[in-house]
Amino acid sequence: MPLVTLLVIAAGCSAARADDAVPTSAAVAPVAAAPSTTTIEPASTIIINTTGTTDAATPTTVRSTTTTTATTATPTTERRSATTVSPPTTERPTANTVSRPTLAAPTTTSTAMPRPLSTVGEIDPGDLPHLSGAFDRLAAGNAAASITVLRDHVTVYGAAAGVGSGMQRVTTDTPLVLASVSKLVTALTVARLAEAGAIDLDAPVPWRRMKIAHDAGWNDVTVRELLAHTSGMPKAQSSWLTLVGSCAIPLTAVMAAPPTPKRGEWVYSNGNYCALGLLVEAVGGASRGKVAQAFVFDPIHVTGPHLTTGGLRPTDGPFPSGVTRLERLGGAGTWMASSDDVAAMLDSVNSADLNTLSGPGVMADQYGWGHTGTVDGAKACAWVMEQGRTVVVAIVAGDRPSTGGQVCDLVIPALATDLGIWAGKPIRQPA
C-alpha cells in the first residue's frame, strides 16, 4: 500500500546540461521572517495516508510600468523598481506564515525564527543602476531576459525583454526554461514532503517503490546523499541530454552497476535529481508537477510554473531549441517558471526547509546561496542574499553568457554594488 495518497481537490489547481552545485552548511544561514499573525490558506488540500510501509527503510506601493513598444523585429523591455511597484494581487507571505497543504497525519509544521537583518543601511530601492546595466547586457543578443529582485518580501526591481512563444511581450511573470534551477524546485518539494513526515532524508531510497531496477550496492544510499550529489551516481552527462523519454531510462542503465568509488564525495550528476523527481512521484502518489504545485506553489498562490514535458505554452517565453529533449532531465531540469515566481518561491523558504536545501546540494558563495542552470538555449541564476533578506532571480532565453554561473557572476556583484555590500566576484562552492 502506498505510503502517501495525494488528492488535489482545488478547482484552480493546474491539472541539460546543468553545470552547477554548493555550500558548506555553515555558509547557508537560516532563512526566516519576522512573526506575523497573517496566514495564507493553501489553494489545494492534500490528504496523506501513512498506514503503508516503505520497502527500504507588506508595504503597498504603486507600480508604474514603462514599456518600449516592440516592432516586428524588436523585443519590448519592461522595467520596474520598488518605488514604482503596484499593489500585489496576493499578499506575499513571510516564511513562518506559509501554510503547508492540509495533512491527515502527521500534521507537521515548521516554526521559523526571526530573520536576521543585514547591518547594511537602508538604500533607495529605486536606485539600482548597476543591476539595470547588468540587465541590459543580458537582454542584448538573447531572445528574452528577465530579472526579479525581492527585498524584505517586496519587489524592488523587475525588468524583462523579448517576445514569447505566443508572440506576446515577455514580462517578469513569463515562464522561461530554468535548466538546473529546477533542482531547487525538486529539493524544496522533497523538503516539504520530509516536513510532512512522508520522506525520511536519512533513510535508504525506496528504489523498489520507484520501480527502478538496480544493483544491490544502491540499497543503502539515502535521500540526503542524492540531494547532496554524494551518492556515487555517475556523472554520465550525455545520458541526461540525449534522446527523449523519462529520465528513468538512463537512470536504470547507470544503476545496473554499483555506486562509483566516489560515493561520499561531491560529484555533480543530473541522475541524483532525476531519482529525486521519481521519489516525489512515488511518495506523493501523483506527478511531480502536481506534488510541487501543492506543496511549494499553492501556499504562495503561484500558478505559472509547469513542466516542459507538455511542450511550450502560448504564454511561455521563447525556447528555439525545443523543450522535448529536456524531458530526459526529469527532476534535474524540466521546470519552466518566471523570475517573479522563482523569487517568490525562494522568499518562502524557512529554516526547516534549509535542513534539506543545504550544501553541497545547493551552491554557496560569500553573498549567500542558490543554484545556477545551463542548457543550450537557456541560462539561469537564482540566489538568496543577505541571510534571506534579498532574493535575485535572472533568466535568459539564449546563450549569452554561456553559463548560468556567468549570469550569477554578472548579476550578483551588480546588485551587491547597488546595495553597498560588494565583496568581490562570487566564489561559489563546491567548484
**In the chain, which stretches have pLDDT less than 70?**
1-126
pLDDT at 108: 30
pLDDT at position 203: 98
Note the pLDDT of residue 310.
Answer: 86
Domain that residue 181 falls in = 25-57+75-419
Give the pLDDT score at 89.
35
**Residues β-bridged to residue 79:** 66, 159
DSSP alpha helices (H): ranges in 268-401? 270-284, 288-292, 339-347
**Is residue 67 assigned to a domain?**
no
CATH number assigned to the domain comprising residue 380? 3.40.710.10
At 276, list the grid cell: 529525486
Identify the burial level of 62 via C-beta atoms within 10 angstroms of its C-beta, where 0-12 means exposed, 13-18 middle and 19 or more buried: exposed
Residue 346 to residue 353: CA distance in whole angstroms? 10
What is the spatial distance between Cα 8 and Cα 262, in angstroms, rounded to a whole number?
A: 40
Q: Note the pLDDT tens digit of each residue in 402-412.
A: 999 999 999 99
pLDDT, residue 57, reads: 35
- Residue 31 within any structural domain of the chain: yes
Query: Cα angle at 194 between 47 and 180, to 5 degrees?
Result: 110
Return the ∠ at Cα 311 (arms to 307 and 317), rounded to 5°: 85
The answer to whether position 406 is within a domain reads: yes
Residues 416, 392 contacting (CB under 8 angstroms):
no
Tally of domains in the chain: 1
Alpha helices, DSSP H only, in 196-355? Answer: 223-228, 248-254, 270-284, 288-292, 339-347
Question: Would you state the pLDDT for residue 225?
Answer: 98
* Residue 283, in any domain of the structure: yes
Q: What is the pLDDT of residue 240?
A: 81
